[in-house]
Structure 1
């Protein structure tokens, strides 16, 4: 019987890496709820090698991993190519039980299209971030995107700007694409009335996209109490700032389930990214009643209503500091923005509502409709 939802992880991503980044519980919580509501069981296509241990306690979930004979010493692209070819043969029984496959990010769509061609598995291309709508695209990438968006069955994006771009530039019909902000577990992320210990909190990867160097310059110049959680290729920039600036505190990793404590201890969530999709850190913080301070870029500006539930700033260090200080002069107004931030997330990002909307969206797939009909027939009537 076909009864599986196949989650296609981003190439080179694994449950182990999710765990190391503190994201595992957040992702598994969402898919646990999604599968419980739809009646499906989760099958994860991972690029890890020993990910089984991360699904302990999840009886209805299974993970497929790279076999040990594929050497770690060869380039990642070659590892992935060998893995894909091997998987088509040795995981064929698992694939034959799949009702639909869903990418975690766009980059997994290529293998998803192969599975659709070989096994007839409907493909949902989901993108937590999509930045082609404000970057200049080369000819080859445009062709790849056009093929992926035309051949897949459904598309889920987390940004209205991204949705509008895909519809306009690739001729995708309205019914095929769902724009839905990232889901937040509102039972976990909520205001607690905790006493404030930090003026700012930043959580994320220490990479260029997050504008880490600008963030550090701003925080060092303000000399206000800050908490930074994360790691990445620019960790040395953060570590140097921590050494010379006592007001900046750093934690390498905190599990997602523990983050509400830290959000509630902060007066604001700061995010100076060059681009975002639907930034989960910002939304989680807002859900806890912590207003956002962010650059006016796609993704972030869809979540922050300037002066209402947060503050949008420019890209210059001096101007950002000036804008922030002007808002911090009135802490009562900042608290009011926090209350409105929480209200906004409850309206737009409720995980329960998002899952219901996602399942309704899948109703366009004949194979999914057939599965739900079988499930309904098994449920005895009252």
Structure 2
């Protein structure tokens, strides 16, 4: 290859340098016409807060306190998630509607702040937690509801603080009001108005079952802002006893729940009448006297309310769990029975039919006495079927509903929420007014 003379190389290099300089000058003139001179440089986009910076504030359901949770045997179940979340967060506060009894629970919830009514009275207390308490919060804050009742107060607090707002619910309040009071009742209309105000305004809506997602979207919430995080089960505590042996005696059925019309407890008694079974009933409610009267001559033990920590032992003694409710959200007692490896019988109704896979993790029946009786007979007469259903039920809960998985899902959701500015910081108009 012929050599290029040095002078030629120098000329070519000089030409390229002139070409680059000319191109740079043209680009500079073009940019100067596009961007007015004298503008300050744009500040860098700030990084979203990390979980370690986050203050999570849980608003309990309107009128509900830690004491009510304790008296209903729910305390340990309900606080388990927040005990696990606390180490990942800068701060965690629970806003209750209780009194100084709730404040004394700090010793049971180390590292978690408890806000309660110290003598203001219901109306003044709601106003204080909505409009004054949030002014004390510092740093990135996420306000979360436990249920829809009281979500207006929680949203007003988020608006006051310019915080993120997460509307979580385990059941649709309006649908519960339809069952309890009728579709055109004032209670139902009020619940629908509350849902229509709160869900579209939330940074994220969280429901416990896929069936609820459509109901939330119908209020006007954005499809991308609705997330399903099912109820969780402490699968270490609610687990089969591998060394247990069935005690001699009749086939034993367990029921755990409020003794109210929604749960169909009288149908439970009627469905078991005439069978050689024993029934354990855990719970209280308005139908207890009628249940006692209907159960005359049957082997039924009414335990009242038991502490949550006592439930695994009761479930392990049972041969099956029965839930004949007319409707449910995402029934925790049913999930805990499945986690214990119990075969379950559930009414083929909303909230239950999404949990139980018929013939795989349990049996679904129509809420009728004859159908319940036939299902109990089927399980009582086939120990192999009971074992297979119970094993599959346990595996399903482990795979999808463990407390550890829920902690992971909650933290991932918080990170996603923090990646966008809170709606409450820039939204116009008025927040829904607390009662």
TM-score category (smaller protein): 0.7 to 0.9
Contact residue 325 and residue 367 of structure 2 kept, 8 A: no
**Which of 346, 352, 373 lines up with 1:294 in the alignment?**
346
Residues 192-231 of structure 1 aligned to structure 2 (within 5 Å): 192-193=241-242, 194-196=244-246, 199-231=252-284
Q: CA deviation at 1:107?
A: 1.0
Contact residue 4 and residue 100 of structure 1 kept, 8 A: yes
Structure 1 gaps, min length 5: 71-78, 371-382
Q: Are residues 156 and 229 of structure 1, via their aligned partners in 2, closer, same or farther at CA, if it must alter by over 3 Å?
A: same
TM-score by length of 1: 0.86
TM-score by length of 2: 0.76
> CA–CA distance in 2 between the matches of 1:239 and 1:40?
50
SS at match of 1:126: strand
> CA–CA distance in 1 between the matches of 2:345 and 2:84?
31
Equivalence for 2:289: 236
Contact residue 133 and residue 161 of structure 1 kept, 8 A: no
Structure 2 gaps, min length 5: 1-51, 423-435
Equivalence for 2:379: 327
Cα RMSD between the aligned structures? Answer: 2.5
Equivalence for 2:356: 304
Is 1:28 aligned to 2:79, yes or no? Answer: yes
> CA–CA distance in 2 between the matches of 1:48 and 1:131?
22
> CA–CA distance in 1 between the matches of 2:189 and 2:109?
43
Please say which of residues 97-106 and 177-186 is displaced more in the overlay: 97-106
Residues 344-359 of structure 1 aligned to structure 2 (within 5 Å): 344-359=396-411
Rg bigger for which structure? Answer: 2
Please say which of residues 58-67 and 195-204 is displaced more in the overlay: 195-204
Please say which of residues 45-54 and 91-100 is displaced more in the overlay: 91-100
Q: CA deviation at 1:13?
A: 0.8
Q: CA deviation at 1:161?
A: 0.7
Aligned length: 358
Contact residue 152 and residue 194 of structure 2 kept, 8 A: no
Q: Are residues 368 and 183 of structure 1, via their aligned partners in 2, closer, same or farther at CA, if it must alter by over 3 Å?
A: farther
**Which of 179, 187, 191 lines up with 2:228 in the alignment?**
179
Equivalence for 1:341: 393
Contact residue 54 and residue 142 of structure 2 kept, 8 A: no
Equivalence for 1:280: 332
Q: Are residues 288 and 255 of structure 1, via their aligned partners in 2, closer, same or farther at CA, if it must alter by over 3 Å?
A: same
Q: CA deviation at 1:181?
A: 1.7
Q: CA deviation at 1:164?
A: 2.6
Q: Deviations over 1:214-263 (max 9, x none)?
A: 12222334341111111122221233345x23511121122212211111
